[in-house]
Structure 1
């Protein structure tokens, strides 16, 4: 009885604080339940006990890490209730290896069940690379895509340091080890070696696009100069299959899966948002770092 009176007095004396505490408790409980559902492989839209299902994989923003996307693709591949998958891409590109990992996962998924890609505003460079193994690729006429190429960027501060009277010393065990350090300009040998590395990565990009699209390699190489093209231009070049919206891509996917009527849609990957962010509605910023020595290779 005394405890109830104490609680009542506390809520009456501090109504704002008491309300905030109740909100935090409610969000914590909901987050816990959602985390349990996710661990069991349940997602919004997957609670229907009947009806055919299609999966949706979202590839959005800069591709800097493929872990979540690849994991979601593998879960859809293993789920026999998922008849086909829509790959929704809205990415300007990103790092090379993660793009290749998604490419491989999409290749394996498409061998198991139909995969149709749908391009939003942009699916360029690494975004195109990652999605090109899809069975069919849809793009809007104004979608920006292709941009097949590799870029390396770094800065040097040697002149600025000289003006400040600073003379850096860089010790290495080989003449190529410090290539790209901001403390020293590239030597001729370093520039040649880096250019060779970039060309090898570029050739991998061209090879994979040609293999996935079953196109003559020379035809792909002819447009693999870093140019970005519209969806309409990409169709003429053979880089996509059809012009159309996301809903049209879904309709075509359902045809490939022989689904009549409505289908249950299971979307992912689900981003894990920190609890405090859910409570406060804060904006989440991703800060990416470049490779050591100040340079990075990327498809963009």
Structure 2
């Protein structure tokens, strides 16, 4: 029996609220520590701060922006303690220029230290383009890869608008300038010009794959018809090197880097998350399937 007038603790009066506050405090403390380590260039996988390390670069989802991946690759390139880098790819492709920027960064990195790629569910089109300069490429037998080609997507609504009595008007300073507007169908000349542009982008893709893989261009061009292939098929086509898991790829990377036994890992790029996201879990909404306004070209 409690004596009247005796004060009880807040935790006793409101145990549920007290528990929630303690969780928030713990997460805030964890987030602060994690942010400090990120600012120092360390990641959760890098438990040891000395000795030879390996880096792991994740290329995931639709590739619309290369900045974070390229920046992290540069960080690994400049870190002398990182002796080799694994590219873990799970991407169906994406925009052309970002895929090319990652390609260039991977190629440059492999000139400094060994890079081995490991394909998950899919590493197709831009995902394959970005990673093909790796010294060795591993894929699971059922990984989907290749899909070398270019696609352009846009819609026209002129006919639908006219059914509602709306007549669209487009003014442009040249016959090609308005190509792809949803308010007007393509002319034959515009369609021909866009296809010519796409063929050039396609040729760039083929050229870079041939260069990165050390293959005859004609051999790459023969399968550069947009087809996706399995990892097992990709080996016979010369598009990848070996069938194997991520673990197999890491073992080979350590061999190439001269690392024996376990090695600390620098893994990224790290996605910045808000305190609320840390508390309730990832609240990220994936909008990668939404097309930008107008039309765009994709390695996808």
2:70 is aligned with 1:70: yes
Structure 1 residues 8 and 82, CA gap change in structure 2 (3 angstroms): farther
- Cα distance in 2 for partners of 1:282, 1:48 equals 27
Match of 2:21 in 1: 21
Q: Does 1:105 pair with 2:105?
A: yes
Structure 1 residue 193: Cα displacement: 1.1
Structure 2 Cα separation of the partners of residues 124 and 134 of structure 1: 15
Deviation at 1:12, TM superposition (A): 5.2
Specify the SS of the correspondent of 1:287: coil
Q: Give, in whole Å, the separation in 1 of the partners of 2:230 and 2:49.
A: 41
Note the C-alpha offset of 1:266. Answer: 2.0
TM-score (norm 2): 0.92
CA 1:197/1:291 → structure 2, altered by over 3 Å: closer, same or farther? farther
CA displacement at 1:221 relative to structure 2 = 0.9
In the superposition, relative to structure 1, how do residues 236 and 282 fare at CA in structure 2: closer, same or farther (>3 Å)? closer
The CA distance in 1 between the partners of 2:8 and 2:105, in whole Å, is 57
For 1:186-236, what per-residue CA distance to the aligned partner results, in whole angstroms no more than 9, with x for missing partners? 011111111111111111101110111111111111111101111111111
SS at match of 2:178: coil
The 5 Å alignment of 1:138-149 reads: 138-149=138-149
8 Å CA contact 2:51–2:81 kept in 1: the answer is no
Shift of 1:129: 0.1
Structure 2: stretches of 5+ with no match in the other structure: 1-6
Tell me the CA shift for residue 11 of structure 1: 5.2
How far 1:17 sits from its partner (Å)? 3.8
User: Gaps (5+ residues) in structure 1?
Assistant: 1-6
Higher deviation after alignment, 174-183 or 83-92? 174-183
Provide the aligned C-alpha RMSD in A.
1.9
TM-score, normalised with respect to structure 1: 0.92
Contact 2:46-2:266 at 8 Å conserved across structures: yes
Point out the more displaced range, 20-29 or 228-237: 20-29
For residue 8 of structure 1, report the CA deviation from its aligned partner: 6.8
Within the alignment, does 1:36 sit opposite 2:36 as a pair?
Answer: yes
Aligned to 2:3: none
Q: Distance in 2 between matches of 1:81 and 1:88?
A: 20
Which deviates the most, 170-179 or 14-23? Answer: 14-23
CA distance in 2, matches of 1:58, 1:104: 16
- Comparing 27-36 and 207-216, the one that deviates more: 27-36
**Matched residues, number:** 294
Question: Equivalent residue of 1:186, what SS?
Answer: coil
1:244-282 CA distances to partner (integer Å, 9 max, x unpaired)?
A: 111111111111111122222221111112211221225
Q: Give the structure 1 partner of residue 165 of structure 2.
A: 165
Deviation of residue 148 (structure 1)?
Answer: 0.4
Q: How do residues 77-96 of structure 1 correspond to structure 2 at under 5 angstroms?
A: 77-96=77-96
State the alpha-carbon separation in 2 of the partners of residues 8 and 298 from structure 1. 64
Map of 1:46 onto structure 2: 46
Query: Can you list the C-alpha shifts for 1:103-130, whole angstroms capped at 9, x where unaligned?
Result: 0110111000000011111110000000
Per-residue deviation, residues 144-186 of structure 1 (Å, max 9, x unmatched): 1100000001111122112111111112222222211111110
Corresponding residue for 2:227? 227
CA 1:8–1:65 in structure 2 vs 1: closer, same or farther (change >3 Å)? farther
Partner residue of 1:3? none
1:57 aligns with 2:86: no
* Cα distance in 2 between the residues matched to 1:104 and 1:126: 13
Shift of 1:38: 0.3
